[in-house]
């Protein structure tokens, strides 16, 4: 059992607040992804859990044990680093065996575990090599094998795939998912890549400016962003936003069109819709097409609505040229509304 509980953890460097009172619970065997742009505090949070950074305040619990006063080696964690951190003066075998030797395990046990994890990561033929003789992808495999060999309760991963090229990243992503699911460890995985986050996570914690904005299942984060930030950060292209004015009768005025909206006390809201959730038809929001990008599966339109950009994903056989004016009708069940001041969902 290795449930991770983070209670009111804050961290500041000098006058800069990297983390504002974070509360987060990660269930046993859960795959949690911390997602956010660089500088949002996700790596700091991971390093606090690892014990590489001391929180300014708050508590960290792993498996029912309070660990925030403990050094990394006493926390029952293993970590995979962004630059792999494969020790250059040791062979692959010795790298994987490093932690096991520190634990003073018997020789046969060390050999058994190294061999098993090496086979798991498909690097059994590289055990005698040094880091300098490995490719980036192979180093990555060694780093993961080294963490798995510890058979830890928790594996922490700090952007492990960000230094690989696109194709390799795809391959490793699928492999990591399989291996980690089989190992039944609790995993915390830091990334800025939303596709990686969506594909790997049981739950995603979207972070912004030192806070967790939303922690939910990937589909939930995508469909029902808890805040304007989440909608604009996740999804490629991101969500469209248009200012809306109260029009009475539960209707809201959006770019000259009256749409059904929520009961809200405010006079102004923000209307939001994902680019793929509009249909081209006779009715809807008037949009002037500026750029047409055929992408094969579909066509991406960049339009202008009331002087602002509005993106729409349409079927690829739709004949449209820049300058055309289209009517884009939002799918009613996919429309979301945000409070323009707090930025939170209504």
Partner 1 sequence: MSTAVSVDAPHKVEVRSAARFLFIAAIVVLCIWVLLPIYLLFVNALSSPQEVSGFPKTGLPSFDFGSVRFFLSFAGVLQALGNSVLVAVLTMVLSIGIGAPAGYALSRFDFPGKESFRMLVVMTRAFPLPLLALPLAVLFIRTGLDDTAFGLAIVHTVLALPFAVLITFSLFSGIPIELEEAAWTLGCNRWQAFRKVVLPLVMPGIAASAVFAFTISWNEVFAAAVLTIQNRTLPAFLVQSLNVSPLHLKFAGGAALVIPALIFIFAVRRYLFAMWGIANR
**d(C-alpha 23, C-alpha 9), whole Å:** 7
State in angstroms the smallest separation of the CB of 301 from partner 1.
Answer: 44
Query: Could you give the 3-state DSSP secondary structure of residue 239?
Result: coil
Cβ proximity to partner 1, 43 vs 240, nearer residue? 43
Q: Where are the beta strands (DSSP E) in 121-191?
A: 154-158, 186-191
- Return residues touching partner 1 (CB under 8 A): 50-52, 71-73, 77-79, 81-83, 85, 87-89, 98-99, 102-103, 146, 150, 156
Cβ proximity to partner 1, 88 vs 296, nearer residue? 88
Burial of 307 (0-12, 13-18, 19+ CB in 10 A): exposed
State in angstroms the smallest separation of the CB of 46 from partner 1.
Answer: 11
**d(C-alpha 264, C-alpha 268), whole Å:** 9
Burial of 153 (0-12, 13-18, 19+ CB in 10 A): buried
Please check whether residue 60 is in contact with residue 9, taking contact to mean a CB–CB distance below 8 angstroms.
yes
Cβ proximity to partner 1, 15 vs 296, nearer residue? 15
Cβ proximity to partner 1, 102 vs 308, nearer residue? 102
State in angstroms the smallest separation of the CB of 112 from partner 1.
Answer: 18
* 217 token code pair: 């299942």
For residue 108, the tally of other CB atoms under 10 A from its CB is 8
Cβ proximity to partner 1, 102 vs 344, nearer residue? 102
State in angstroms the smallest separation of the CB of 185 from partner 1.
Answer: 14
State in angstroms the smallest separation of the CB of 71 from partner 1.
Answer: 7
Bridge partner list, 191: 35
């Amino acid at each position: 059992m290795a449930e991770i509980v983070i209670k009111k953890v804050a961290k500041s460097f000098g006058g800069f607040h990297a983390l504002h009172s974070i509360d987060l619970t990660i269930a046993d065997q859960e795959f949690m992804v911390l997602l956010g742009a660089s500088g949002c505090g996700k790596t700091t949070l991971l390093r606090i859990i690892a014990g590489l950074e001391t929180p300014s305040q708050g508590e960290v619990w792993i498996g029912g044990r309070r660990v925030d006063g403990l050094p990394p080696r006493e926390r029952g964690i293993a970590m995979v680093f962004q630059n792999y951190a494969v020790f250059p003066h040791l062979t692959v075998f010795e790298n994987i065996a490093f932690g096991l030797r520190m634990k003073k395990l018997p020789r046969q046990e060390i050999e058994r575990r190294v061999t098993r994890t090496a086979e798991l990561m498909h690097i059994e033929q590289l055990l005698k090599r040094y880091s300098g003789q490995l490719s980036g992808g192979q180093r990555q495999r060694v780093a993961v094998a080294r963490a798995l060999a510890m058979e830890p309760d928790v594996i922490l991963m700090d952007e492990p795939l960000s230094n690989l090229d696109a194709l390799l990243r795809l391959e490793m992503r699928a492999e990591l998912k399989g291996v980690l699911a089989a190992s039944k460890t609790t995993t915390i995985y830091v990334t800025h890549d939303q596709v990686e986050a969506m594909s790997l996570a049981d739950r995603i914690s979207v972070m912004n400016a030192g806070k967790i904005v939303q922690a939910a299942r990937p589909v939930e984060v995508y469909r029902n962003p808890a805040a304007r930030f989440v909608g604009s950060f996740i999804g490629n292209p991101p969500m469209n936003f248009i200012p809306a004015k109260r029009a009475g009768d539960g209707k809201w005025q959006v770019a000259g069109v009256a749409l059904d909206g929520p009961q809200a006390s405010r006079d102004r809201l923000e209307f939001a819709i994902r680019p793929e959730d509009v249909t081209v038809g006779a009715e809807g929001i008037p949009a002037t097409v500026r750029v047409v990008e055929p992408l094969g599966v579909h066509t991406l339109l960049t339009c202008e609505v009331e002087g602002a950009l509005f993106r729409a994903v349409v079927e690829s056989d739709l004949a449209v040229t820049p300058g055309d004016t289209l009517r884009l009708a939002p799918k009613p069940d996919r429309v979301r509304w945000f409070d323009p001041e707090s930025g939170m969902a209504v």
